[in-house]
Amino acid sequence: MTKRLDGRVAVITGAGSGIGLATAKRFAAEGAKVVCVDLDPESGAKAANEVDGLFIQADVTDEAAVIAMYQQAVDHYGSLDIAFNNAGISPPEDDSILTTGLEAWKRVQEVNLTSVYLCCKYAIPHMQRQGKGSIINTASFVAVMGAATSQISYSASKGGVLAMSRELGVQFAREGIRINALCPGPVNTPLLQELFAKDPERAARRLVHIPLGRFAEPSEIAAAVAFLASDDSSFMTANTFLVDGGISGA
């Protein structure tokens, strides 16, 4: 494998599972020094161990913890070149506008959207000092199209991530900082399995709408993140990067 990320320092949130874990492995294979951030101490530490990286236990909704995690990454490895702001949670069981309560709504916005605001806010100054950096924020295909299954709090949070990424991408382009939104389609991870456990027919309903006829594997999303993190995407910023099996094009 070509080492497109040789020597670069990458901080990945939600690195203990699913897309974050697959990306930690891909980044390490491409030569990056990987900082694995997760709320869960066991899976996060295991991920860091697998990629010979640094584990930081942090709740990405906690402002002080986000400030500290980037500082710790820079203190340990000397720079911050890539921030993959990826931690997130699935929607509440019945996420219709008519049934989702205010507390459940606020929780989804906090973990999926406010966390990305905090991660961008505190990663960007490190990158400004270096005059370069690549930020990838995980949104979702539901940020660009309506989902057949109600998930209003989740879709709104991901729409916010997409809008924020575009705006920041434009704002910081002249400082050498690229900021893109990654929009995966349905990916075979614990998050998706949790949704299907709540509603077993959801999987079949989803598959009908995916032209490639299957769910993505986390490694397929990680390959796209590695591209966005690397210089191979050097002319891309403020972009909506869909990796969705064709679901948004159908």
Closer residue to ligand NAI in complex, CB, 77/141: 141
Q: Report in angstroms how near the CB of residue 73 gets to ligand NAI at its nearest.
A: 15
Contact partners, residue 84, CB within 8 Å, separation at least 6: 10, 11, 12, 13, 20, 23, 27, 136, 138, 225, 229
Is 5 or 144 the residue whose CB approaches ligand NAI more closely? 144
Rounded Cα distance, 189 and 248, in Å: 20
State the number of binding residues for ligand NAI (CB under 6 A).
Answer: 28
237 binds ligand NAI (CB under 6 A): no
Any contact of residue 89 with ligand NAI (CB under 6 A)?
yes
Q: Please, what is the minimum distance in Å from the beta carbon of residue 25 to ligand NAI?
A: 13
CB half-sphere exposure, 23, CA atoms < 13 A: 35
Contact between 245 and ligand NAI (CB under 6 A)? no
> Is residue 111 a contact point for ligand NAI (CB under 6 A)?
yes
| Strand blocks (E) in the chain | 9-13, 33-38, 54-57, 82-85, 133-138, 177-184, 240-243
DSSP string for residues in 99-126: T--HHHHHHHHIIIIIHHHHHHHHHHHH
Binder of ligand NAI out of 8, 12, 35, 43 (CB under 6 A): 43
95 binding ligand NAI? (CB under 6 A): no
Say whether 154 is catalytic. yes
Q: Is 16 in the site for ligand NAI (CB under 6 A)?
A: yes
At residue 108's C-alpha, the angle toward residues 100 and 210, to 5°, is 85
CA angle centred on 161, ends 92 and 239, rounded to 5°: 135
Residue type present at position 36: C
Q: Does 13 bind ligand NAI (CB under 6 A)?
A: yes
Contact pick of 5, 11, 20, 169 for ligand NAI (by CB under 6 A):
20
Q: What is the DSSP letter of 82?
A: E
Q: Candidates 28, 87, 124, 164: give the one binding ligand NAI (CB under 6 A).
A: 87
Catalytic annotation, residues: 154
Sites of contact with ligand NAI (CB under 6 A) = 13-14, 16-20, 38-40, 43, 59-61, 86-89, 111, 138, 140, 184, 186-187, 189-192
